[in-house]
Amino acid sequence: MYEQKSLMFYYCMTPLHMGAGTSVGAIDNPIQREIHSGQPIIAGSGLKGAIRHHVDKQWEGRKSDVISLFGSEPKPGDLQAGAIAFTDANLIAFPVRSVKNSFVYVTCPYALARLKRHAQLAGEKFKWNIAELKLDIDDKEVLASSEDSLVDGKLCLEAYEFKANKSEEIKEIAAWIAERCFPQGDESHKFFADKLEADFFLLNDDSFNFFVKNSTVVEPHVAIDNKTGTAVDGALFYTENMPPESIFAGNILASIERKKLARNPEGKEIDDRMSAEDCLNKALWDTDGISGQTVQMGGDATTGRGLVMINAPRKGE
């Protein structure tokens, strides 16, 4: 059904709250997480809704393009299915406070395996061997892309210390991600692209899961009484956010345009639908395409939350 596919990176520029909708713990408004792994995700439905809202504003006068790609709005009458779809975005790299160099990006074999699967679906080429990397680390060790953030050969994250070993393969993976995660030629992202290459660390799955469950941004909120200007009793609640510099990845999929075929005066059908390749190009890389743009996603938009930079690398770049 979907003939064209591309890898999509989502880089959090401000804290991101993609709400789970329900809470079973101390946090009133938790973020979305996978049931089986507990790792944060961005649901494909939320991605599509946020990006559609963005292009509705951005593509002024191009309503037909919005409908062709995203589908008709749910209302009575003839409806058209959209030609593009978004998979859930999985967490690829997570920022954690470090004793040296402020913070570093951490990942794990499970996260890299998910990235590899997304990349394979999009036809990307690489030489990683996740199984071999997984054998090289235990819960007190990490593999490092460089030694820039190490202190006496150790990586200090929050209150935890790990023995670090430099790995050329981790260095290559960090460079591969940095080349595709950020728009090429955009100097505003160069600092973070360089930092990702230099300060990228592979933890084992258990250590990574500990940080993504305990090092998110949890903010207290209160409701204010307009008359008294003070907090309403019992109105304290806590909202969880992904920290800035978190990196997610997923896929965008494109099919041939799914509109009804037109007919000529003789009643014969005319196939003037956009191809899947044209739909993907229009969504991502044509004028005002979403690749390289910053989109607001999730809750708390009025307090600057949810600014996410999107990048979809072209094959071969």
* Cβ neighbours, 10 Å, residue 217: 16
pLDDT at 135: 64
pLDDT at 102: 95
Beta bridge partners of 151: 154
pLDDT at 227: 77
pLDDT at 54: 94
Chunked mean pLDDT (size 10), the chain, 317 residues: 94 94 78 93 96 91 88 77 94 97 96 95 84 73 93 94 93 95 89 96 95 93 77 80 97 89 66 86 92 94 93 80
Q: Kindly list the distances between the CA atom of residue 249 and the CA atoms of 10, 146, 177, 188, in Å, as whole numbers in the listed order.
A: 6, 23, 10, 21
pLDDT at 317: 57
Q: Judge if pTM exceeds 0.75.
A: yes
Expressed in angstroms, the distance from the first to the final Cα of the chain is 26
Burial bucket for residue 49 (CB in 10 Å: 0-12, 13-18, 19+): middle
pLDDT at 19: 86
In the chain, DSSP assigns E strands to 4-12, 41-42, 84-86, 89-97, 103-107, 141-144, 154-157, 160-166, 200-202, 217-221, 237-241, 247-254, 262-263, 269-270, 294-296, 307-311
